[in-house]
Structure 1
Amino acid sequence: MKSIKKTLRQIALICLMGSFFLISIDSIAQRRGGGAAHRGGATQARPVQTRPANQTRPATQTRPGSNGAGVKRPATTTRPASTGNKATRPSTVNRTNNRNSNTVNRNNTGNRNTNISGNNINRNVDRSRDITINNNRNTVVRRNTVVVYARPPYRYGGYRYNAYHPYYFHPYTPYYWGPVWHPWGFFAATLAVTAIVVSVESTQYHYDQGVWYAPSSGGYTAVPAPVGGTVNNIPNGAETVNTGTVNNYYYGGTYYEKDGSSYKVVPPTAGTLVDNLPEGGEEVTIGDVKYVKFGETYYQPVQVDGKSKYEVVLVEEDK
């Protein structure tokens, strides 16, 4: 009997200890599971944010232009749908800017057409550098009968080129006499009211402030002054040149001689020195000498008192 009781007590003790052991294991498991749940809460997956497959901006954005028409700028941007947990943007964005209004068309050329308008002047100026300049002058060089050439002439090609001063080369640089002066070949649609009509040998010319014009298609073209043309006034910038016999007045490539109260266009006199020559001259090389030629007139580059000048050359046939 005692042995049975002892055995029952042992069995009860074992069961009690087993229950206690199971309870302990469960407690430990709950503690570990709670920690894991706590840590799992920190790493809970974020909800996926999905963007629409295409986000399309308005096709055109219109801004008002200066003419009221507006400037249209198509600017459509397409983004693909997001994948995964991160939003993905395309590597390139196509943007098209098309500006059609307020367009300025600039055409820059070497030619300039300038309309000069005033109360009395309306001129259409063509400054083109490829104009054809007619430098054929109906003049011959007048022989200087007073002065005798002390130097022998330069002979070449059957002609004698007489000059008082030795040849001294310097480049031919056309001279500009100011805004009211124009070179031969210059075209004007209309002339100023100050222009006058001058008739020379049944041909009508127009003269204005030292420039002679001949009628041409649609306007007037500056031409060499006709010998015999007479005017009452010449420009204030005219240079007085000594021909050896009488003073001449030189302006813009033209020689004038006092004739009573008027001024008459005359041919250049041999030996006359001038400081400047206008546009339209042609550099011609004759032997070892380079002259500047205007029609029938040859100018030899010389140097007088250290200053570059041009001398009118007397050309004669070598007999």
Structure 2
Amino acid sequence: MKSEKYSTLFLFALLLAVSSQPITAQRRGGGQRPGGGINRQPMHGGATERTRPNINNNNINNRDIDRNRNINNASRNSNNTNISGNTVNVNVDRSHDVNVVNNRNTVVQRNNIATYRRPPYVYGGARYYCYHPYVYHPYRPYYWGPAWHPWGFFVAALTVTAIVVTIENEKYHYDQGVWYAQSGGGYTVVQAPVGGTVTTIPSNSQTTVVNNVTNYYYGGAYYQKDGTTYKVVPPPAGAVVENLPEGGEEVKVGDQTYVKIGETYYQPVQVDGKNKYEVVQVESEKS
């Protein structure tokens, strides 16, 4: 009995010794614990360092790429947006633009050169005739009032006082000294067409007499009375007017500066101490 008892105890002790060997080796070997725990790496002096478990860097890289894409997109959008306020691009409706012919009444009515007592100003192969001496003053376009509009001005509709005037199969509309041509769903102001005849002109028109003929001037247009009507005529050479409309430009001819409207040259002059303009007669030196 005693021998069996001792044999059982011996086997139990042997099993206990064998089973304890791998646990001790695992603890002493510093191997990684199952379950993804924190590793302890050896350091100088026998200490250990805690290290984080391995993490999949693909997710971090993807997030960085997405963030960079968003930043780049935002940068592009901000570059395409004009926030400076200095230049603004807008869609301009050009449907009402028309080519306004400003030379219908700018072919000057010529005078007999013998009537000019002053020698002409000669420059660039042309002679510029005027009755009055040249006195420069700057060109300032004149405004004739709320019923008047400059050439090229567009209106969507006309007032009930407008009348239709047909000249050489072309239809115009006339209203209070202003001439219109239909265009772009509305009406555009044009120069008074030569030959156009109306029964009334604005009461504040100016009179200018050339060769004993009285001309009525308003808004850049010249009229001569024919019975009970007024007929548009070209600018008569030698006519002196106080004001010029918009649409002119100062042009340098040698030492003198003229105001050119269409093909008509106006010389700045002084009459009775007032700044005025005289219609110039331009002749080629070859003529």
Contact 2:210 2:238 in 1 (8 A): yes
Pairs within 5 Å for 1:145-184? 145=112, 148-184=115-151
Using CA pairs under 8 Å that are at least 6 residues apart, name the structure with larger relative contact order, 1 or 2. Answer: 2
In structure 2, what is the equivalent of residue 280 of structure 1? Answer: 247
| Root mean square deviation, CA, Å | 2.0
In structure 1, what is the equivalent of residue 169 of structure 2? Answer: 202
Runs of 4+ displaced beyond 6 Å: 130-133
Q: How far has the Cα of 1:262 moved from its partner?
A: 0.4
In structure 1, what is the equivalent of residue 226 of structure 2? Answer: 259
Which of the two has greater helix per residue? 2
Structure whose CA Rg is larger: 1
Structure 1: distance between partners of 2:217 and 2:112: 20
Q: How far has the Cα of 1:143 moved from its partner?
A: 1.6
In structure 1, what is the equivalent of residue 211 of structure 2? Answer: 244
Structure 1: distance between partners of 2:157 and 2:203: 24
Deviations 1:134-156 (CA, angstroms, capped at 9, x unpaired): 53334411122497111111111
Deviations 1:197-225 (CA, angstroms, capped at 9, x unpaired): 00011100000000000011020000000
Structure 1: distance between partners of 2:106 and 2:169: 17
In structure 2, what is the equivalent of residue 271 of structure 1? Answer: 238
The answer for unaligned runs of 5 or more in structure 2 is 1-96
Give the SS at the match of 2:182: strand
Deviations 1:259-313 (CA, angstroms, capped at 9, x unpaired): 1110000011111100000000111111111111111111000011111000000
Distance 1:253 1:142, change over 3 A: same
Deviations 1:11-54 (CA, angstroms, capped at 9, x unpaired): xxxxxxxxxxxxxxxxxxxxxxxxxxxxxxxxxxxxxxxxxxxx
In structure 2, what is the equivalent of residue 214 of structure 1? Answer: 181
Distance 1:132 1:200, change over 3 A: closer
Between Structure 1 and Structure 2, how many residues are aligned?
Answer: 191
Q: Does 1:302 align with 2:269?
A: yes
Deviations 1:165-204 (CA, angstroms, capped at 9, x unpaired): 1110000000000000001011000000110000011100
Structure 2: distance between partners of 1:288 and 1:247: 32
Contact 1:238 1:251 in 2 (8 A): yes
Distance 1:140 1:134, change over 3 A: closer
The answer for unaligned runs of 5 or more in structure 1 is 1-129
Structure 2: distance between partners of 1:146 and 1:266: 20
